[in-house]
Amino acid sequence: MNTLSLMRCDSAEFVVGAVSPKDFPDDGCPEIVFSGRSNVGKSSLINCLLQRKNLARTSSVPGKTQQLNYYRVNEMFYFVDLPGYGYVRGGKDLREKLGHMVESYVKSSQQICAILQLIDARHGPTDSDRVMIELLRSLQFPFLLVFTKTDKLSRPKLNKVFSRLESEGVLGGISYVQFSAESKQGREDVLCWIDDAVNFDKS
């Protein structure tokens, strides 16, 4: 796979909304995973990367994604959209069920080659985001922090956010990208990172 194949995106299709491990595709294709809080913009990022308007359905209602959504890209690999953590429609029991399913998937899948951890630039990283980051550190996956909705902040405020995170050591040793679905800022940076991560995994 290379960046050009993603940037051209010859084909992209929704394959399955998995609600249990038996639903996961078993064709052995590499999986690039999208993780983050509810309503952080995972679907918008996927649509932007693939240059599709409504492939991944977006919603202003947090907690709508309650399954692992698999999208086959260029007949070569999957984008996997995880259920958002934090608020989930259906209450605490469903939230815990989804949490166990996501954790089990991330810890056991043999096809994961890279994870994009999305964080709302206006609010994060939240406590839940920090827990997820520590989990990713422990699992040794290549992972990228994608700070979404950067267009919602002025440049001075955005600079202040990242200066604070740098001084707190949150970003130490971690690759990150600033992203806006509106302006497409960061799109090529994310694609290049995915390309490097997947090629590194294959080497």
Which of 87-91, 108-112, 171-175 is least confident?
A: 87-91
Name 36's bridge partners: 118
Q: Where are the alpha helices (DSSP H) in 112-184?
A: 127-139, 155-168
CATH value at residue 131: 3.40.50.300
- Span 67-82, pLDDT tens digits: 889 999 988 889 999 8
**Residue 82 CA: distances (Å) to CA of 12, 31, 128, 159:** 17, 12, 15, 29
By DSSP bridging, strand 175-178 and strand 143-148 are parallel
pTM of the shown model: 0.84
Express as a percent the part of the chain with pLDDT over 70: 81
Range of the domain at 187: 3-202
Token code pair at residue 150: 């950067």
Number of domains in the chain: 1
The residue assigned the tokens 């947090």 is 62
